[in-house]
Amino acid sequence: MKTDRKAARFIRRLETEFTAENKSYRGISSDLSLSGLFIRTAHAFVPGSMLDITLHLPDGQASILKGKVMRAFKTHMVALKNGMGVFLVEKDSHYINFMKTHYPDIDEEPTSGKSSFQTATTNTKPEPEPEKKPDPQPADFLVLACSKCGTKNKVNRSKISLGPKCGKCGSPLVISLS
């Protein structure tokens, strides 16, 4: 399977706490890299959400990070990983030093003088987020509405011959040529 990863990753399960939209949750990290990580959790946020992350490192220290959700996976199947892929916007020295134990040739500095937690607690007024424009659908996907529950499903055109099913109720999706 082809991956679009730009940085080398390694699997390390570390306790993780993350906050977004005034909601705090816990998860387990996996697939760590210098530029991002995957957080296994049942509480994945939608792509584009900004997270304040506390990663509990093996030496007992806590690394304070800020990241942007790039992908979210929610499924009822136990074999697949529920969670979210996060791009790290701000990294502290604890995280960089931890990464250097696995990749000694890393030559990076922390991306913020303040931790994201300090930034979030010292600002009394949250900054307004810029208006988000919806991304246009790529031509290689179809949006099919389920005839049973009405949920809209995004289906890759190359997978249509496999008989796609609704992500919510599991009933087969009907492809109408109109």
Q: pLDDT by residue (tens digit) across 88-118?
A: 999 998 888 888 887 766 666 666 644 444 4
Tokens of 158: 């190359």
pLDDT at 10 over 50: yes
Check if 15-122 and 137-178 are the same fold: no
Task: Report residue 131 CA to chain centroid gap.
Answer: 21
Helix (H, G, I), strand (E, B), or coil: what is residue 65? strand
The domain 137-178 is placed in CATH, from the list 3.40.50.620, 3.40.630.40, 3.40.80.10, 2.30.30.380, at: 2.30.30.380
Mind listing the pLDDT tens digit for each residue in 141-161? 788 889 899 888 888 877 777
Domain coordinates of the chain in residue numbers? Answer: 15-122, 137-178
Global pTM reads 0.56
CA distance 28 to 17: 8
Give me the architecture of the 15-122 domain, per CATH: Beta Barrel (2.40)
Helix (H, G, I), strand (E, B), or coil: what is residue 95? helix
Query: Quick one: pLDDT at residue 69?
Result: 92
Half-sphere exposure of 91 (CA within 13 A, CB side): 19
pLDDT at 2 over 60: no
Query: What is the arithmetic mean of pLDDT over 72-94?
Result: 82
- Distance linking the first and last C-alpha atoms of the chain: 34
